[in-house]
A and B are shown apart, each in its own frame.
Chain A
Protein backbone atom coordinates (compact mmCIF):
# COMPACT_ATOMS: atom_id res chain seq x y z
CA UNK A 1 0.00 0.00 0.00
CA UNK A 2 1.33 3.42 -0.96
CA UNK A 3 1.35 6.28 1.53
CA UNK A 4 -1.14 8.04 -0.77
CA UNK A 5 -3.49 5.20 -1.69
CA UNK A 6 -7.10 5.05 -0.60
CA UNK A 7 -7.18 4.43 3.17
CA UNK A 8 -10.90 4.52 3.78
CA UNK A 9 -11.87 1.44 5.77
CA UNK A 10 -14.81 0.06 7.68
CA UNK A 11 -14.57 0.42 11.45
CA UNK A 12 -14.01 -3.36 11.86
CA UNK A 13 -11.35 -3.41 9.17
CA UNK A 14 -9.45 -0.44 10.59
CA UNK A 15 -9.75 -1.27 14.29
CA UNK A 16 -9.50 -5.06 13.93
CA UNK A 17 -5.71 -4.75 13.75
CA UNK A 18 -5.56 -3.75 17.44
CA UNK A 19 -4.72 -6.76 19.65
CA UNK A 20 -7.41 -7.96 22.07
CA UNK A 21 -5.08 -7.60 25.06
CA UNK A 22 -2.27 -5.28 26.20
CA UNK A 23 -2.49 -2.85 23.27
CA UNK A 24 -0.57 0.40 23.65
CA UNK A 25 -2.80 3.12 22.23
CA UNK A 26 -2.26 6.87 22.04
CA UNK A 27 -5.31 9.11 21.70
CA UNK A 28 -5.89 12.73 20.76
CA UNK A 29 -8.51 14.86 22.48
CA UNK A 30 -8.63 17.31 25.34
CA UNK A 31 -10.95 16.66 28.31
CA UNK A 32 -13.61 15.09 26.13
CA UNK A 33 -13.30 17.42 23.12
CA UNK A 34 -11.73 16.19 19.88
CA UNK A 35 -12.05 12.50 20.73
CA UNK A 36 -12.49 9.64 18.28
CA UNK A 37 -15.93 8.83 19.67
CA UNK A 38 -16.87 5.89 17.45
CA UNK A 39 -13.43 4.25 17.70
CA UNK A 40 -13.68 4.43 21.49
CA UNK A 41 -17.12 2.80 21.32
CA UNK A 42 -15.64 0.06 19.12
CA UNK A 43 -12.98 -0.67 21.78
CA UNK A 44 -15.74 -1.10 24.35
CA UNK A 45 -17.99 -3.20 22.12
CA UNK A 46 -15.08 -5.49 21.26
CA UNK A 47 -13.80 -5.58 24.86
CA UNK A 48 -10.21 -4.64 24.02
CA UNK A 49 -8.65 -5.23 27.44
CA UNK A 50 -5.60 -4.17 29.47
CA UNK A 51 -4.96 -1.12 27.30
CA UNK A 52 -1.97 1.08 28.06
CA UNK A 53 -3.39 4.51 27.22
CA UNK A 54 -1.26 7.52 26.34
CA UNK A 55 -3.42 10.60 26.54
CA UNK A 56 -3.08 14.24 27.55
CA UNK A 57 -5.62 13.72 30.38
CA UNK A 58 -8.24 11.01 30.98
CA UNK A 59 -11.23 12.81 29.40
CA UNK A 60 -14.63 14.05 30.57
CA UNK A 61 -16.86 12.22 33.10
CA UNK A 62 -19.69 10.20 31.58
CA UNK A 63 -18.37 10.64 28.07
CA UNK A 64 -16.02 9.13 25.46
CA UNK A 65 -12.74 7.92 26.97
CA UNK A 66 -14.33 7.82 30.45
CA UNK A 67 -16.34 4.79 29.34
CA UNK A 68 -13.10 2.86 28.80
CA UNK A 69 -12.27 3.12 32.52
CA UNK A 70 -15.85 2.40 33.50
CA UNK A 71 -15.62 -0.84 31.54
CA UNK A 72 -12.29 -1.69 33.18
CA UNK A 73 -10.45 -1.79 29.86
CA UNK A 74 -7.43 0.39 30.72
CA UNK A 75 -4.65 -0.96 32.93
CA UNK A 76 -2.25 1.97 32.75
CA UNK A 77 -2.43 5.62 31.80
CA UNK A 78 0.54 7.75 30.70
CA UNK A 79 -0.71 11.29 31.13
CA UNK A 80 -0.64 14.63 32.93
CA UNK A 81 -3.66 13.74 35.06
CA UNK A 82 -5.87 10.91 36.30
CA UNK A 83 -8.72 12.88 37.85
CA UNK A 84 -10.55 14.70 35.05
CA UNK A 85 -13.12 11.89 34.98
CA UNK A 86 -14.90 10.26 37.91
CA UNK A 87 -14.46 6.89 36.19
CA UNK A 88 -10.65 7.10 35.95
CA UNK A 89 -10.47 8.36 39.53
CA UNK A 90 -12.49 5.40 40.77
CA UNK A 91 -10.38 2.80 38.93
CA UNK A 92 -7.16 4.51 40.04
CA UNK A 93 -8.13 4.65 43.70
CA UNK A 94 -9.23 0.99 43.59
CA UNK A 95 -5.74 0.12 42.35
CA UNK A 96 -6.95 -1.03 38.92
CA UNK A 97 -5.43 1.81 36.89
CA UNK A 98 -1.68 2.25 37.12
CA UNK A 99 0.03 5.65 36.92
CA UNK A 100 3.80 5.39 37.07
CA UNK A 101 4.28 9.18 37.16
CA UNK A 102 2.41 12.34 36.23
CA UNK A 103 3.87 14.69 33.62
CA UNK A 104 3.21 18.43 33.41
CA UNK A 105 1.02 18.88 30.34
CA UNK A 106 3.71 20.78 28.47
CA UNK A 107 6.14 17.94 29.14
CA UNK A 108 3.66 15.31 28.00
CA UNK A 109 3.05 16.97 24.64
CA UNK A 110 6.79 17.58 24.13
CA UNK A 111 7.41 13.85 24.74
CA UNK A 112 4.80 13.08 22.09
CA UNK A 113 6.40 15.65 19.80
CA UNK A 114 9.78 13.99 20.31
CA UNK A 115 8.17 10.69 19.33
CA UNK A 116 6.50 12.30 16.33
CA UNK A 117 9.69 13.96 15.09
CA UNK A 118 12.10 11.08 15.57
CA UNK A 119 14.02 12.75 18.40
CA UNK A 120 15.84 10.93 21.19
CA UNK A 121 13.91 12.89 23.80
CA UNK A 122 13.53 16.43 25.11
CA UNK A 123 15.09 18.51 27.89
CA UNK A 124 12.43 20.06 30.12
CA UNK A 125 13.14 22.37 33.05
CA UNK A 126 9.59 22.34 34.44
CA UNK A 127 9.31 20.41 37.72
CA UNK A 128 13.02 19.95 38.40
CA UNK A 129 13.45 19.97 42.19
CA UNK A 130 9.78 19.01 42.60
CA UNK A 131 8.96 15.90 40.57
CA UNK A 132 12.33 14.30 41.33
CA UNK A 133 11.72 14.59 45.07
CA UNK A 134 12.65 11.14 46.46
CA UNK A 135 9.62 8.96 47.10
CA UNK A 136 7.13 11.08 45.13
CA UNK A 137 6.73 8.53 42.34
CA UNK A 138 7.65 5.32 44.12
CA UNK A 139 7.06 3.00 41.15
CA UNK A 140 9.73 4.54 38.89
CA UNK A 141 12.19 1.93 37.66
CA UNK A 142 14.99 4.48 37.93
CA UNK A 143 15.10 8.08 39.18
CA UNK A 144 14.30 10.88 36.74
CA UNK A 145 17.50 11.93 35.01
CA UNK A 146 18.54 15.58 35.33
CA UNK A 147 21.22 17.30 33.27
CA UNK A 148 22.37 20.91 33.22
CA UNK A 149 22.68 22.84 29.97
CA UNK A 150 24.03 26.41 30.13
CA UNK A 151 23.03 26.65 33.76
CA UNK A 152 19.50 25.34 33.23
CA UNK A 153 18.65 22.09 35.00
CA UNK A 154 16.41 19.90 32.88
CA UNK A 155 14.79 16.50 33.02
CA UNK A 156 15.82 14.17 30.23
CA UNK A 157 12.42 13.06 28.95
CA UNK A 158 12.37 10.12 26.53
CA UNK A 159 9.95 10.25 23.58
CA UNK A 160 6.45 8.80 23.67
CA UNK A 161 5.44 6.64 20.73
CA UNK A 162 2.72 4.05 20.29
CA UNK A 163 1.94 1.24 17.87
CA UNK A 164 -1.66 2.48 17.58
CA UNK A 165 -3.06 5.99 17.42
CA UNK A 166 -6.66 7.21 17.44
CA UNK A 167 -7.28 10.75 16.26
CA UNK A 168 -10.35 12.77 15.39
CA UNK A 169 -10.51 15.31 12.59
CA UNK A 170 -13.28 17.19 10.84
CA UNK A 171 -12.74 15.69 7.39
CA UNK A 172 -10.32 13.55 5.49
CA UNK A 173 -9.68 12.92 1.87
CA UNK A 174 -9.46 9.33 0.73
CA UNK A 175 -5.65 9.34 0.99
CA UNK A 176 -5.80 10.38 4.65
CA UNK A 177 -5.03 14.10 4.54
CA UNK A 178 -6.85 15.55 7.55
CA UNK A 179 -8.48 18.91 8.15
CA UNK A 180 -9.34 19.98 11.70
CA UNK A 181 -11.87 22.45 13.03
CA UNK A 182 -11.02 25.00 15.74
CA UNK A 183 -9.49 23.57 18.92
CA UNK A 184 -9.72 20.04 17.50
CA UNK A 185 -6.24 20.72 16.16
CA UNK A 186 -4.62 20.93 19.61
CA UNK A 187 -3.09 17.49 20.03
CA UNK A 188 -4.49 15.25 17.30
CA UNK A 189 -1.83 16.12 14.65
CA UNK A 190 1.06 15.39 17.01
CA UNK A 191 -0.53 12.12 18.16
CA UNK A 192 -1.11 11.08 14.53
CA UNK A 193 2.60 11.47 13.80
CA UNK A 194 3.77 9.66 16.95
CA UNK A 195 2.06 6.35 16.16
CA UNK A 196 2.91 3.54 13.75
CA UNK A 197 -0.68 2.85 12.79
CA UNK A 198 -2.92 5.88 13.08
CA UNK A 199 -6.65 5.62 12.59
CA UNK A 200 -8.40 8.91 11.84
CA UNK A 201 -12.09 9.16 12.66
CA UNK A 202 -13.69 11.92 10.64
CA UNK A 203 -17.08 13.52 10.14
CA UNK A 204 -16.79 13.62 6.38
CA UNK A 205 -14.72 11.92 3.68
CA UNK A 206 -14.02 13.87 0.51
CA UNK A 207 -12.16 13.14 -2.74
CA UNK A 208 -8.42 13.84 -2.93
CA UNK A 209 -7.85 17.46 -3.97
CA UNK A 210 -10.87 18.82 -2.09
CA UNK A 211 -9.05 20.08 1.02
CA UNK A 212 -6.87 23.13 0.27
CA UNK A 213 -3.23 22.08 0.90
CA UNK A 214 -2.63 24.87 3.43
CA UNK A 215 -5.63 23.68 5.46
CA UNK A 216 -4.24 20.18 5.93
CA UNK A 217 -3.34 19.69 9.60
CA UNK A 218 -2.10 16.12 9.21
CA UNK A 219 -0.65 14.95 5.92
CA UNK A 220 -1.62 11.61 4.41
CA UNK A 221 1.67 9.75 5.11
CA UNK A 222 1.01 10.05 8.87
CA UNK A 223 -2.37 8.31 8.59
CA UNK A 224 -2.86 4.59 7.96
CA UNK A 225 -6.67 4.30 8.07
CA UNK A 226 -9.63 6.62 7.71
CA UNK A 227 -13.02 5.76 9.21
CA UNK A 228 -16.27 7.64 8.98
CA UNK A 229 -17.67 8.55 12.38
CA UNK A 230 -20.61 10.74 13.26
CA UNK A 231 -21.52 13.68 11.06
CA UNK A 232 -20.56 17.19 12.12
CA UNK A 233 -24.19 17.90 12.99
CA UNK A 234 -24.50 14.71 15.06
CA UNK A 235 -21.26 15.47 16.87
CA UNK A 236 -22.29 19.02 17.73
CA UNK A 237 -25.65 17.74 18.94
CA UNK A 238 -24.14 15.06 21.21
CA UNK A 239 -21.89 17.62 22.87
CA UNK A 240 -24.70 20.16 23.10
CA UNK A 241 -26.95 17.64 24.84
CA UNK A 242 -24.16 16.65 27.23
CA UNK A 243 -23.43 20.28 28.06
CA UNK A 244 -27.12 20.94 28.67
CA UNK A 245 -27.26 17.90 30.94
CA UNK A 246 -24.30 19.02 33.06
CA UNK A 247 -25.34 22.68 33.14
CA UNK A 248 -22.63 24.10 30.88
CA UNK A 249 -25.29 25.34 28.47
CA UNK A 250 -28.71 26.76 29.20
CA UNK A 251 -31.62 25.66 27.00
CA UNK A 252 -33.24 28.36 24.84
CA UNK A 253 -30.48 30.83 25.63
Chain B
Protein backbone atom coordinates (compact mmCIF):
# COMPACT_ATOMS: atom_id res chain seq x y z
CA UNK B 1 0.00 0.00 0.00
CA UNK B 2 1.19 3.53 -0.82
CA UNK B 3 2.44 4.91 2.52
CA UNK B 4 0.35 8.05 2.14
CA UNK B 5 -2.80 6.01 1.57
CA UNK B 6 -1.93 3.97 4.65
CA UNK B 7 -1.65 7.17 6.70
CA UNK B 8 -4.96 8.66 5.57
CA UNK B 9 -6.82 5.36 5.94
CA UNK B 10 -5.59 5.12 9.51
CA UNK B 11 -6.35 8.80 10.15
CA UNK B 12 -9.92 8.34 8.93
CA UNK B 13 -10.44 5.76 11.70
CA UNK B 14 -9.97 8.55 14.24
CA UNK B 15 -13.22 10.19 13.12
CA UNK B 16 -16.32 9.44 15.15
CA UNK B 17 -19.94 9.55 14.13
CA UNK B 18 -21.49 13.00 14.40
CA UNK B 19 -18.26 15.00 14.60
CA UNK B 20 -17.60 18.38 13.02
CA UNK B 21 -14.31 17.96 11.17
CA UNK B 22 -11.80 20.12 9.30
CA UNK B 23 -9.34 18.35 7.02
CA UNK B 24 -6.13 20.17 6.12
CA UNK B 25 -4.69 20.46 2.62
CA UNK B 26 -2.93 17.60 0.91
CA UNK B 27 -2.95 14.17 2.50
CA UNK B 28 -5.63 14.87 5.15
CA UNK B 29 -8.23 15.87 2.52
CA UNK B 30 -8.14 12.26 1.27
CA UNK B 31 -9.33 10.95 4.65
CA UNK B 32 -12.90 11.77 3.59
CA UNK B 33 -12.65 8.84 1.13
CA UNK B 34 -11.99 6.28 3.87
CA UNK B 35 -14.56 6.99 6.59
CA UNK B 36 -15.29 3.87 8.67
CA UNK B 37 -18.63 2.22 7.98
CA UNK B 38 -21.52 3.89 9.79
CA UNK B 39 -19.55 7.03 10.58
CA UNK B 40 -21.15 10.23 9.33
CA UNK B 41 -19.37 13.50 9.96
CA UNK B 42 -19.88 17.08 8.88
CA UNK B 43 -16.93 18.67 7.10
CA UNK B 44 -16.03 22.30 7.63
CA UNK B 45 -14.21 24.37 5.02
CA UNK B 46 -12.57 27.48 6.42
CA UNK B 47 -13.85 29.50 3.47
CA UNK B 48 -17.17 29.59 5.30
CA UNK B 49 -18.83 26.29 4.49
CA UNK B 50 -20.22 23.84 7.03
CA UNK B 51 -21.24 20.69 5.21
CA UNK B 52 -18.70 20.30 2.41
CA UNK B 53 -19.90 17.55 0.07
CA UNK B 54 -18.18 15.50 -2.62
CA UNK B 55 -16.98 16.76 -5.99
CA UNK B 56 -19.95 17.54 -8.25
CA UNK B 57 -20.47 16.41 -11.82
CA UNK B 58 -18.68 18.76 -14.22
CA UNK B 59 -21.94 20.18 -15.55
CA UNK B 60 -23.14 20.97 -12.02
CA UNK B 61 -19.99 22.72 -10.75
CA UNK B 62 -20.51 26.36 -9.82
CA UNK B 63 -17.94 29.14 -9.49
CA UNK B 64 -19.44 30.14 -6.14
CA UNK B 65 -19.57 26.71 -4.48
CA UNK B 66 -16.02 25.84 -3.51
CA UNK B 67 -13.96 24.48 -0.64
CA UNK B 68 -10.99 26.17 1.02
CA UNK B 69 -8.74 25.03 -1.84
CA UNK B 70 -11.06 26.65 -4.39
CA UNK B 71 -12.08 23.24 -5.67
CA UNK B 72 -15.64 22.63 -6.79
CA UNK B 73 -17.70 20.86 -4.13
CA UNK B 74 -21.33 20.06 -3.48
CA UNK B 75 -23.45 21.04 -0.49
CA UNK B 76 -24.68 18.31 1.82
CA UNK B 77 -28.18 18.42 3.33
CA UNK B 78 -28.07 20.66 6.39
CA UNK B 79 -25.05 22.60 5.16
CA UNK B 80 -24.61 26.25 6.05
CA UNK B 81 -22.63 29.09 4.54
CA UNK B 82 -21.14 31.89 6.60
CA UNK B 83 -18.78 34.81 6.36
CA UNK B 84 -15.06 34.36 6.95
CA UNK B 85 -14.95 35.98 10.41
CA UNK B 86 -17.66 33.57 11.60
CA UNK B 87 -15.94 30.58 10.02
CA UNK B 88 -12.56 31.37 11.57
CA UNK B 89 -14.23 32.41 14.82
CA UNK B 90 -15.76 28.94 15.05
CA UNK B 91 -12.30 27.44 14.58
CA UNK B 92 -10.68 29.69 17.17
CA UNK B 93 -13.46 29.29 19.71
CA UNK B 94 -13.56 25.50 19.88
CA UNK B 95 -16.63 24.68 17.80
CA UNK B 96 -14.85 22.04 15.71
CA UNK B 97 -14.43 18.58 17.24
CA UNK B 98 -11.41 17.39 15.33
CA UNK B 99 -8.91 18.45 12.71
CA UNK B 100 -6.48 16.31 10.73
CA UNK B 101 -3.45 18.30 9.59
CA UNK B 102 -0.38 17.60 7.53
CA UNK B 103 2.92 18.63 9.09
CA UNK B 104 6.61 19.21 8.46
CA UNK B 105 7.52 18.26 12.04
CA UNK B 106 5.78 17.08 15.21
CA UNK B 107 7.26 16.62 18.67
CA UNK B 108 6.81 14.98 22.07
CA UNK B 109 5.50 18.25 23.56
CA UNK B 110 2.48 18.10 21.27
CA UNK B 111 3.84 20.87 19.06
CA UNK B 112 3.27 20.96 15.32
CA UNK B 113 5.17 22.89 12.65
CA UNK B 114 3.51 23.05 9.26
CA UNK B 115 3.51 26.59 7.86
CA UNK B 116 7.07 27.61 7.10
CA UNK B 117 10.36 26.46 5.69
CA UNK B 118 13.29 28.70 4.81
CA UNK B 119 13.66 29.27 1.09
CA UNK B 120 16.12 31.85 -0.20
CA UNK B 121 16.39 33.05 3.38
CA UNK B 122 12.64 33.70 3.59
CA UNK B 123 9.89 31.92 5.51
CA UNK B 124 7.51 30.33 3.02
CA UNK B 125 4.62 29.60 2.25
CA UNK B 126 2.37 31.00 5.03
CA UNK B 127 -0.13 30.26 7.74
CA UNK B 128 -3.64 30.26 6.27
CA UNK B 129 -6.16 28.83 8.74
CA UNK B 130 -3.89 26.20 10.32
CA UNK B 131 -2.92 28.23 13.37
CA UNK B 132 -6.56 29.03 14.20
CA UNK B 133 -7.37 25.30 13.94
CA UNK B 134 -4.50 24.32 16.23
CA UNK B 135 -5.45 27.00 18.74
CA UNK B 136 -9.12 26.13 19.05
CA UNK B 137 -9.78 22.53 18.05
CA UNK B 138 -10.20 20.00 20.83
CA UNK B 139 -8.57 17.14 18.96
CA UNK B 140 -5.65 17.86 16.62
CA UNK B 141 -4.40 14.84 14.68
CA UNK B 142 -1.18 15.13 12.71
CA UNK B 143 -0.36 13.10 9.61
CA UNK B 144 3.12 12.96 8.15
CA UNK B 145 5.80 10.69 6.78
CA UNK B 146 7.92 9.42 9.67
CA UNK B 147 11.22 10.54 8.14
CA UNK B 148 12.44 12.80 5.36
CA UNK B 149 13.89 11.35 2.15
CA UNK B 150 17.29 10.92 3.83
CA UNK B 151 15.73 8.93 6.67
CA UNK B 152 15.96 11.75 9.24
CA UNK B 153 13.16 11.65 11.82
CA UNK B 154 10.37 14.22 11.60
CA UNK B 155 9.07 13.04 14.99
CA UNK B 156 11.26 15.13 17.25
CA UNK B 157 12.05 15.93 20.85
CA UNK B 158 11.41 19.56 19.94
CA UNK B 159 10.35 21.06 16.59
CA UNK B 160 12.99 23.17 14.85
CA UNK B 161 10.73 25.06 12.41
CA UNK B 162 8.33 27.88 13.38
CA UNK B 163 5.36 26.34 15.19
CA UNK B 164 1.76 26.31 14.07
CA UNK B 165 0.45 25.16 17.44
CA UNK B 166 1.91 24.62 20.89
CA UNK B 167 1.02 21.56 22.95
CA UNK B 168 -2.13 20.99 20.90
CA UNK B 169 -1.44 17.66 19.17
CA UNK B 170 -3.21 14.59 20.59
CA UNK B 171 -2.26 11.92 18.03
CA UNK B 172 0.50 11.52 15.43
CA UNK B 173 0.00 9.14 12.51
CA UNK B 174 2.92 8.23 10.23
CA UNK B 175 3.72 5.56 7.65
CA UNK B 176 5.47 3.62 10.44
CA UNK B 177 3.51 4.20 13.63
CA UNK B 178 0.70 5.78 15.63
CA UNK B 179 1.60 7.78 18.74
CA UNK B 180 -0.50 9.55 21.32
CA UNK B 181 1.07 12.56 23.00
CA UNK B 182 1.71 12.14 26.71
CA UNK B 183 3.44 14.37 29.23
CA UNK B 184 6.62 15.34 27.33
CA UNK B 185 6.79 11.84 25.93
CA UNK B 186 5.05 10.03 23.10
CA UNK B 187 3.12 6.82 23.63
CA UNK B 188 3.62 4.30 20.84
CA UNK B 189 0.23 2.69 20.20
CA UNK B 190 0.55 0.97 16.84
CA UNK B 191 3.03 -0.04 14.19
CA UNK B 192 2.41 -0.17 10.46
CA UNK B 193 2.13 -3.62 8.88
CA UNK B 194 5.61 -5.13 8.58
CA UNK B 195 7.36 -2.47 10.69
CA UNK B 196 9.11 -3.66 13.86
CA UNK B 197 9.53 -1.86 17.16
CA UNK B 198 13.27 -1.90 16.51
CA UNK B 199 12.79 -0.05 13.22
CA UNK B 200 10.56 2.55 14.88
CA UNK B 201 13.18 3.09 17.59
CA UNK B 202 15.85 3.56 14.93
CA UNK B 203 13.97 6.25 12.99
CA UNK B 204 12.34 8.23 15.83
CA UNK B 205 14.16 11.09 17.52
CA UNK B 206 11.44 11.74 20.09
CA UNK B 207 11.34 9.92 23.41
CA UNK B 208 8.52 7.41 23.52
CA UNK B 209 7.16 4.64 25.69
CA UNK B 210 5.39 1.59 24.33
CA UNK B 211 1.73 1.21 25.23
CA UNK B 212 0.57 -2.08 26.82
CA UNK B 213 -1.88 -2.33 23.96
CA UNK B 214 0.83 -1.90 21.28
CA UNK B 215 -0.38 -3.64 18.13
CA UNK B 216 -0.47 -3.52 14.35
CA UNK B 217 -2.53 -0.83 12.56
CA UNK B 218 -5.75 -2.28 11.22
CA UNK B 219 -6.10 -0.75 7.80
Does B84 sit at the interface, judged by CB under 8 A? yes
Among the stretches A46-54, A98-106, A208-216, the one at the interface with B is A98-106
Cβ A190 vs Cβ B84 within 8 A: yes
A235 partner residues in chain B, CB cutoff 8 A: 63
In whole Å, how far is A53's beta carbon from the nearest beta carbon of chain B?
14
Cβ B120 vs Cβ A104 within 8 A: no
Cβ A93 vs Cβ B69 within 8 A: no
B120 partner residues in chain A, CB cutoff 8 A: 93-95
Does B81 sit at the interface, judged by CB under 8 A? yes
Known: A92-B122, A102-B123. A31 touches B68 (CB 8 A): yes
Provide a sorted-by-A list of 10 A–B residue pairs whose CB atoms are within 8 angstroms. A82-B126, A105-B88, A106-B92, A109-B85, A125-B135, A180-B64, A183-B65, A186-B87, A187-B84, A239-B61
Q: Which 8 A-B pairs have the closest CB atoms?
A: A83-B125, A81-B126, A106-B88, A31-B70, A186-B48, A239-B63, A104-B131, A106-B132
Known: A106-B89, A236-B63. A82 touches B132 (CB 8 A): no
Instruction: Tell me the complex Cα distance, A89–B57, Å.
Output: 32
Query: Which residues in window 38-61 of A have CB below 8 A to B?
Result: 56-57, 60
Cβ A83 vs Cβ B124 within 8 A: yes
Per-residue CB contact flags for chain B residues 7-47 toward chain A (1 = under 8 Å, else 0) read 00000000000000000000000000000000000000111
Instruction: Tell me the complex Cα distance, A92–B116, Å.
Output: 14
Does A250 sit at the interface, judged by CB under 8 A? yes
A236 partner residues in chain B, CB cutoff 8 A: 61-63
Cβ A129 vs Cβ B166 within 8 A: yes
B46 partner residues in chain A, CB cutoff 8 A: 105
The residue of chain B having its C-beta at the shortest distance from the C-beta of A28 within the complex is B84
Instruction: Tell me the complex Cα distance, A136–B57, Å.
Output: 44
Among the stretches A13-21, A142-150, A240-248, the one at the interface with B is A240-248
In whole Å, how far is A100's beta carbon from the nearest beta carbon of chain B?
12
Query: Which residues in window 115-143 of B have CB below 8 A to A?
Result: 115-116, 119-120, 122-132, 135-136
Known: A34-B64, A81-B126, A89-B125. A183 touches B49 (CB 8 A): yes
Query: Which residues in window 54-85 of B have CB below 8 A to A?
Result: 55-58, 61-66, 68-72, 75, 81-85
Does B156 sit at the interface, judged by CB under 8 A? no
Instruction: Tell me the complex Cα distance, A130–B135, Å.
Output: 11
Per-residue CB contact flags for chain A residues 64-94 toward chain B (1 = under 8 Å, else 0) read 0000000000000001111110000100111
Known: A57-B126, A79-B126, A105-B127. A253 touches B57 (CB 8 A): yes
In whole Å, how far is B93's beta carbon from the nearest beta carbon of chain A?
10
The residue of chain A having its C-beta at the shortest distance from the C-beta of B163 within the complex is A130
Does A189 sit at the interface, judged by CB under 8 A? yes
Cβ A106 vs Cβ B125 within 8 A: no
B119 partner residues in chain A, CB cutoff 8 A: 93
Chain A interfacial residues counted at CB < 8 A? 60
The residue of chain B having its C-beta at the shortest distance from the C-beta of A240 within the complex is B61
Known: A34-B64, A183-B65. A244 touches B58 (CB 8 A): yes
Does A113 sit at the interface, judged by CB under 8 A? yes
Does B162 sit at the interface, judged by CB under 8 A? yes
Does B98 sit at the interface, judged by CB under 8 A? no
A106 partner residues in chain B, CB cutoff 8 A: 85, 88-89, 91-92, 129, 131-132
Say which residue of A34, A80, A127 sits within 8 Å of B129 (CB atoms). Answer: A80
A252 partner residues in chain B, CB cutoff 8 A: 58
In whole Å, how far is A96's beta carbon from the nearest beta carbon of chain B?
11
B128 partner residues in chain A, CB cutoff 8 A: 57, 80-81, 84, 105
Cβ A126 vs Cβ B132 within 8 A: yes
Known: A182-B81, A183-B66, A235-B63. A243 touches B72 (CB 8 A): yes
Instruction: Tell me the complex Cα distance, A182–B58, Å.
Output: 18
A113 partner residues in chain B, CB cutoff 8 A: 85
The residue of chain B having its C-beta at the shortest distance from the C-beta of A189 within the complex is B83
Most buried by A among B62, B66, B122: B66
In whole Å, how far is A90's beta carbon from the nearest beta carbon of chain B?
11
B82 partner residues in chain A, CB cutoff 8 A: 185-186
B125 partner residues in chain A, CB cutoff 8 A: 81-84, 89
Cβ A186 vs Cβ B83 within 8 A: yes
Cβ A93 vs Cβ B58 within 8 A: no
In whole Å, how far is A69's beta carbon from the nearest beta carbon of chain B?
13
The residue of chain B having its C-beta at the shortest distance from the C-beta of A236 within the complex is B63
